[in-house]
Structure 1
Amino acid sequence: MDIQLSILQFFQSLRSGVLDTLFLILTISTEIPVIVLLTTIMYWCINKKYGQKILFSLVGNVAINSGIKDVIKAKRPIGIEGITSQRVSTATGYSFPSGHTQTATSFWTSIIIIFKNTWISIIGAIIILGVGISRLYLGVHWPIDVIFGWGFGIIFTVIFSKFFDYVDNEKKYLSLILMLIPFALVAFLVNSSSYIKSFGLLTGFVLGYIVEDRYIQFETVSKNKNKINFSNKKDNKIAKNICRFLLGIITLGLVYLGLKYTMPSNNLFDYIRYTIVVFYGVCGVPFLFKIFKL
């Protein structure tokens, strides 16, 4: 603990207005509004399969991170003498492992796996490293939390990515359903509100993916991409994607708010609410695209 405290104090000694701004931006880049924005744009508008793979890895990592936190129950450095913590409003729950770090690592590791591009890999590695350091600089996590956030994020993202490819290529939907069983057992054992919500996110993705893949099958990449067309097809595609995003994000927000203010707040209804929200985002919104010919 003394070594970890010394590391935090070292980062605190570097405090400046510029670094405050830089590390706040890095830490905010992995919070829910930004991640939802990026993943929905990828899934609804750019490449469906890429979006599904990223989302699967994200919700899987979030559930694992939340489960480990509720088992270990490690305290944060917030309030420790000599440590000034910033942005504590988003530093909720237990400390180990760092959720922001694992989320950033999951997102950017997925991007690196998908695109296999040197510059994207360099940018991703810098952001992964930066987000982890930001949690130390802001005084909301111990070094061990960040180290394991990096490690878990990489390991589980590789596992989830390979598993998604297997399920998607072989159409092994039952494998996805069976995967939920150990997560359900953890939910029963830890009986934690935060984990129940995370488990709902994962359940919503699994059910939504199966329904979309079997029955809706919307497209983001044109089947006639090799066909020469001298019309304003590119402009139409941009307008179509803008309409898709606005329709999706507005209705998703309405579904979330509607459920939040009409359902009781307890573990069962929290699980149902988060399951429905992600299910709607994964297959309900694409169904609207079909209805409105988007």
Structure 2
Amino acid sequence: MFDSSFIVWLQQFSNGFLDSFFTIITTVGNPEYYMIAFPFIYWCISKRMAYRFTIFFLLSTYVNTIVKGFTDVARPCSSEVRVLYGDSTYGSSSFPSGHTQGTASFWGYLAYYFKNRYFTCFAVVLTALVGLSRIYLGLHFAIDVVAGLFIAIMVLTLFNLFYDKVASRLDGLSWKLKVGLSTVLPLLLLVPPGHDKGMLVGFAIGLMVGYQLDKRYLNFSNSATIAKQGVKFVIGVVGLFVLRVVLKELFEVIGFSALTEHGADMVRYLFVGLWASYFAPYLFVKLGLSKEPKIEIGQDHRVKV
């Protein structure tokens, strides 16, 4: 089942161009990519979609982590295949492919949301290329990629079937309970063993809590001219990376980074998530880069899930 024969066959076509091409393509599935993509959706497309998207992506990642911890399959052996970009997978299980599942989840959700056949074709091709890159680089068996794709489709299908029903029940909860759930639910991802969990958990908590803060105190609007959207994105991303770097250096100076395996990353990315979902939008409003939210007659002010 976990056979290297397909990797060996694929790598017979190896050359410098393909090495560089697939190394670049595989980074589309890196966690850092989502640190930019989710804020862009939140700032420029739909904050409610970004919030729902975050819950879905967290659920998909949780399933991947559970399966990885349960199966604990070793990655392809470097004595049998050529392994490139191997440092990115150090200490993590092979089955199923997290990069493939993450890419399929991310672009699959967007394809479902936009329902445009050209965009769907793009999503399918990109997901296929990321999956192929994991095999070409010697980081995964073919079955890992197939399983990651299958799990992403399964989770997306179930999520779309049940999310609205669950959300409607949670809509009546108090604001404090919603903030509490936004904090506790991502923490469940810390239970099973896994890779890069602190980053994802912290960012998810920050984004989800910030969304609730925005709905209660700010009500930031995504609507703006194309020029203002571009300015928002540049300011937001610069602030995001400055915060990410500054906090990393600060934690290393005070020795916080060495306290727990995932603790420092979780705290650092919690602030990054809060910046993305609340403090950057607050700055956009103050700078006049966001239109004032429109309240329709008869519209209530309850915080929507």
Q: Give the conservation status (yes or no) of the 8 Å contact 1:57–1:161.
A: no
Separation of aligned partners in 1, 2:39 and 2:265: 22
Q: CA RMSD in A?
A: 2.9
| Bigger Cα displacement from structure 2, 158-167 vs 98-107 | 158-167
Partner of 2:4: helix, strand, or coil? Answer: helix
Displacement of 1:179:
7.6
Question: Residue 232 of structure 1 corresponds to which residue in structure 2?
Answer: none
Q: Are residue 283 (structure 1) and residue 286 (structure 2) matched? A: no
Separation of aligned partners in 2, 1:290 and 1:169: 31
Question: Residue 228 of structure 1 corresponds to which residue in structure 2?
Answer: none
Question: Residue 214 of structure 1 corresponds to which residue in structure 2?
Answer: 216
Output the amino acid matched with 1:241: Q
Alignment of 1:118-267 (within 5 A): 118-160=117-159, 165=164, 167=167, 171=171, 174=177, 177-178=180-181, 184-185=187-188, 187-188=190-191, 190=192, 194-221=196-223, 237-263=225-251, 264-265=256-257, 266=260, 267=262
Question: Residue 81 of structure 2 corresponds to which residue in structure 1?
Answer: 83
Partner of 1:29: helix, strand, or coil? Answer: helix
Partner of 2:75: helix, strand, or coil? Answer: coil
Partner of 2:196: helix, strand, or coil? Answer: helix
Separation of aligned partners in 2, 1:43 and 1:211: 14
Q: TM-score, normalised by structure 2?
A: 0.78
Alignment of 1:16-35 (within 5 A): 16-35=15-34
* Residues 269/214 of structure 1: CA separation in 2 closer, same or farther (3 Å cut): same
Displacement of 1:110:
1.0
Partner of 2:3: helix, strand, or coil? Answer: helix
Displacement of 1:256:
1.6
| Bigger Cα displacement from structure 2, 272-281 vs 196-205 | 196-205
Separation of aligned partners in 2, 1:192 and 1:107: 20
Displacement of 1:116:
0.9
* Residues 161/175 of structure 1: CA separation in 2 closer, same or farther (3 Å cut): farther
Separation of aligned partners in 1, 2:163 and 2:243: 27
Separation of aligned partners in 2, 1:240 and 1:191: 42
Question: Residue 14 of structure 2 corresponds to which residue in structure 1?
Answer: 15
Separation of aligned partners in 1, 2:7 and 2:160: 33
Q: Which has the higher helix share?
A: 1
Output the amino acid matched with 1:146: V
Q: Give the conservation status (yes or no) of the 8 Å contact 1:63–1:195.
A: no
Q: Give the conservation status (yes or no) of the 8 Å contact 1:67–1:195.
A: no
* Residues 284/258 of structure 1: CA separation in 2 closer, same or farther (3 Å cut): same
Q: Are residue 268 (structure 1) and residue 263 (structure 2) matched? A: yes
Displacement of 1:158:
3.8
Displacement of 1:210:
1.6
Output the amino acid matched with 1:207: V
Structure 1: any 5+ residue segments left out of the alignment?
223-236
Displacement of 1:244:
0.7
Separation of aligned partners in 1, 2:169 and 2:233: 27
Runs of 4+ in 1 over 6 A off after TM superposition: none
* Residues 161/293 of structure 1: CA separation in 2 closer, same or farther (3 Å cut): farther
Residues 189-232 of structure 1: per-residue CA shift (max 9 Å, x gap): x466733443323322321222222322211236xxxxxxxxxx
Separation of aligned partners in 1, 2:168 and 2:64: 25
Structure 2: any 5+ residue segments left out of the alignment?
290-305
Output the amino acid matched with 1:239: A
Displacement of 1:109:
0.6
